[in-house]
Structure 1
Amino acid sequence: MATMKIKKGDTVRVIAGADKDNEGKVIAVNQKNHTVLVEGVNMIKKHTKPSMANQNGGIIEQEGPIDISNVMLLVDGKTTRVGFQMDGDKKVRVAKATGKVID
């Protein structure tokens, strides 16, 4: 399986779909399905039954998954593709647009 170029905590911009041009922080990455959860993007309504954790139940809004191909990493306010380089004996992510090391 290929290495994921987007990680939890990255800031991304949605480049396709109903939420195009929205930005947010990545909450979770699902490597198996190649999807990400982005804060405040692709909000869905979920109907919940009353439980010990949620006494009232009702309708809650939460983020829905977006395919990883529909988001792009933001570096210094600019979208960029991601590459990899060896920094000594460590593999690091690099922004293709600027050549800057991301992490």
Structure 2
Amino acid sequence: MATFKFHVKKGDMVKVISGKEKSKTGKVLLLFPTKGRLVVEGLNVIKRHTRPTQLRPEGGIVEKEAAINISNVMLICPSCSEASRTGMRAIEDGSRVRYCKKCNEIVDK
């Protein structure tokens, strides 16, 4: 499978636009580029039943965030604080950066 460039990166604030967590916001913790999925802090929490191990001798039920599809989230622009689409733009030094399509400000600093 190929890896792709996405509209969000690790550390971005995103808003979920569909699914059971719709309209909730959170910070991107992990990206899985080959699968097209990401993990958002505090969202899509599942319960795992774990056996006792040397690292976790008590075992039991552990709550953790599960991955959601990257198409179900939108980036929250840091300058206008709204969920918006992003585009790519080349700047003077030749590098490509993301920009907000609502306020036309550069997202990558």
2:14 aligned to 5, 8, 12, which one? 12
1:93 aligned to 85, 89, 98, which one? 98
CA distance in 1, matches of 2:4, 2:21: 26
**What runs of 5+ residues in structure 2 fail to find an aligned partner?**
none
Root mean square deviation of aligned Cα: 1.0
**What runs of 5+ residues in structure 1 fail to find an aligned partner?**
none
SS in 2 for 1:69: helix
SS in 2 for 1:29: strand
Partner amino acid for 2:104? G
CA distance in 2, matches of 1:2, 1:41: 24
TM-score normalised by structure 1 residue count: 0.95
Q: Percent identity among equivalent residues?
A: 38
TM-score normalised by structure 2 residue count: 0.90
Considering fraction of residues, name the structure with more strand. 1
User: Across the two proteins, how many residue pairs are aligned to each other?
Assistant: 103
Partner amino acid for 1:92? V
CA distance in 2, matches of 1:2, 1:54: 36
Are the aligned partners of 2:89 and 2:96 in contact in 1 as well (CA < 8 Å)?
yes
CA distance in 2, matches of 1:46, 1:2: 30
